[in-house]
Amino acid sequence: MDLNISAQDLNYRMKKINEEGIIKKYMLHVNPAFYGKKSLYMAFSGDKIYHGRVSSVIKCLEKTTVYGLSGTDEELNKKSMEIVDMLGSPEMRYMPATLEPGVKRIKLDDMIIEQLRMDPLMRTQDIARALNKKYSTVKRRLDYLIEKRVISIIGKLDLSKLNTVILGIFTDRIKDIISRLDESLIIINDDQSGISLSIEKDIITAKSVIENLRKIDNKIEVMIIYDYEFFE
| Contacts (Cβ under 8 Å, ≥6 apart) of 148 | 101, 102, 103
Structure-model confidence comparison of residues 65 and 1, the more confident one = 65
Q: What is the mean pLDDT of residues 108-115?
A: 97
CB atoms within 10 A of CB 8: 8
Residue 194 has pLDDT above 60, yes or no: yes
Tell me the three state secondary structure of residue 163. coil
Q: What's the pLDDT band for 128 if we cut at 50, 70, 90?
A: very high
Return the pLDDT at 17. 61
Query: How many CB atoms neighbour CB 75 within 10 A?
Result: 14
What local confidence, expressed as pLDDT, does residue 4 receive? Answer: 44
Of 193 and 46, more confident? 46
Q: In the predicted model, is pLDDT for residue 165 greater than 80?
A: yes
| pLDDT for 231 beyond 80 | yes
Q: What is the mean pLDDT of residues 124-131?
A: 97
What CA–CA distances, in Å, run from 221 to 43, 62, 92, 168, 195? 11, 12, 10, 8, 10
Those residues whose C-beta lies under 8 Å from the C-beta of residue 107, and which sit 6 or more positions away, are none
Q: For residue 15, what are the CA distances in angstroms to 10, 11, 157, 201?
A: 9, 6, 14, 20
% of the chain beyond a pLDDT of 70: 84
Average pLDDT, the chain: 84
The answer, yes or no, to whether residue 183 has pLDDT greater than 70, is no
Query: Closest by alpha carbon to 166, among 192, 186, 194?
Result: 186
Question: Does position 130 have pLDDT exceeding 90, yes or no?
Answer: yes
According to the model, what pLDDT value does residue 184 have?
A: 66
Q: What is the pLDDT of residue 3?
A: 38
